[in-house]
Amino acid sequence: MADAECSLRQVLVEIAERNDYTNHNIDIKGFNSGGANYTSAIFFATISSSGKDDLDLFAKVAIVGEKIRNKSTVDRMFTTEQTFYNDLATVWDGYQSKYSVPDDEKFVFPKFYGGSPKRGEETVVLNNLVARGYETYNRFKSVDWQYASKAIETLAKFHALSFVFEKESPEEHEKICKELVYQMGGEEDSTKKVWERMVESSIQVLNDEHKGRVMKFMEKHTSMESFMKYYRPLGKSVLIHGDYRPSNLLYKKQDDSLQVIPVDYQTLRAGSPVSDLIYFIFVGSDQKFRENHYQQLVEHYYQQLCLALARFQIDPADVYPREKFDVDFKEMLPFAVLLGVFLLPIITVEAESAPRMDGDADFDSFVVKPNELFAQRFTELIADCIRYEII
């Protein structure tokens, strides 16, 4: 943590000088994410200087150790986030101005102040939205309709901007999509062993019937090719968030309205829009929510995508017709099972048992002991996957 703070201070000095904060003072405070973040050290910082408003900042500094870096594509995750803030965010926000999108209909990008791409010390510094009243949703609770509907409206706006990017800069869009095709790093044999342990750990909470169904499903997804299907585009490439869940969204209530701002673009990739939608639904909600709002939320997404595209004078029928959306959604639904097996244990884990990626940590730390919350949520997820005829 001390090394991370030292690296951050160097970046903050550059930010202070670039923004004419002479004779500045820098105050840095560490922040514990409670198990929600394990790739970076999190800080709140303030840059102050006489006669100028304080700069309230949020910062992430990479803490992933060499052992994991050498077995994965973590380096790529950090460079991807740098690409997003340095190259894409400003361009995409410019599209909203070009087409005169009303302020209350815009996708909101956190203000980016700078960072460092230096390997082992990758740093991103943004404005501190927490200081402006934003917070993260409790990751141990299922989303409610007000939050989920706003989060999905925001997701639709994000996907719409990728379609606009293709319209406005087709060559650049194609180039970046090729660069951001998902890659699974490391040795397949060692990765497979960890997967097998994660599957074994997850399914132990199921009854025999459901356990058998999941095992049969997983037997069909033992090859890298079958697994990667859910991380690649289904036809047209669209830039998707890749980790669209409540822990990576900041929200603020204002009277009866809600504003949601996505953060953490390390997993930005070329993919299918329905991947983000399925991801949010199945890792962010419980069975009760899905019983009441599953189909409603799916319909809401497509309606909001159409509205967002219309603001940029794009006909949804030309870029993502409803028929294609429905086919993609059905084809991608088995992704929910994989999310339940591999991701839900980490989302529901208590802070003291959360995976580590720093120092000499290895991927073994991602095999976490199932807790009561996971058992309930995973059992419900598999029951729903059976009811929806996914497995």
Fill in the amino acid letter for 250: L
Q: In the prediction, which pLDDT does 311 show?
A: 98
According to CATH, where is 3.90.1200 located in the chain?
A: 81-110+135-387
pTM above 0.75, yes or no: yes
Per residue in 193-233, pLDDT (tens digit) is: 888 899 999 999 999 999 999 999 998 887 777 778 899 99
Q: In the prediction, which pLDDT does 188 show?
A: 57
Q: In the prediction, which pLDDT does 11 show?
A: 97
Cβ pair 381, 345 in contact under 8 A: no
Element holding 31 (H helix, E strand): strand 25-31
172-181, 183-192, 316-325: least confident range: 183-192
From 3.90.940, 3.40.50, 2.60.40, 3.30.200, which CATH number describes the 1-80+111-128 domain?
A: 3.30.200
- DSSP string spanning 173-220? HHHHHHHTB----S-HHHHHHHHHHHHHHHHTTS-HHHHHHHHHHHHT
According to CATH, where is 3.30.200 located in the chain?
A: 1-80+111-128
Q: What percent of the chain has pLDDT over 70?
A: 98
Q: In the prediction, which pLDDT does 226 show?
A: 78
Q: How far apart are CA 258 and CA 360, in angstroms?
A: 41
Average pLDDT, the chain: 93
Q: In the prediction, which pLDDT does 2 show?
A: 62
Per residue in 64-108, pLDDT (tens digit) is: 999 999 888 889 999 999 999 999 999 999 999 999 999 999 999
pLDDT at residue 187 tops 80 = no
What value does the mean pLDDT take over residues 255-275? 94
From 1.20.1530, 3.40.1130, 1.10.10, 3.90.1200, which CATH number describes the 81-110+135-387 domain?
A: 3.90.1200
Q: Where residue 190 falls among pLDDT bands split at 50, 70, 90? A: low
Cβ pair 92, 164 in contact under 8 A: yes
The token pair that represents 351 in the structure block: 């802070």
Element holding 312 (H helix, E strand): none
Residue given tokens 């019983």 in the structure block: 291
Nearest one of 123, 139, 115, 106 to 34, comparing CA atoms = 139
pLDDT at residue 256 tops 80 = yes
Q: How far apart are CA 119 and CA 62, in angstroms?
A: 9
Residue 84, helix vs strand vs coil = helix
Strands 25-31 and 257-262: unpaired
CA 234 to chain centre: 19
Burial of 28 (0-12, 13-18, 19+ CB in 10 A): middle
Question: Which DSSP category does 267 fall into?
Answer: T
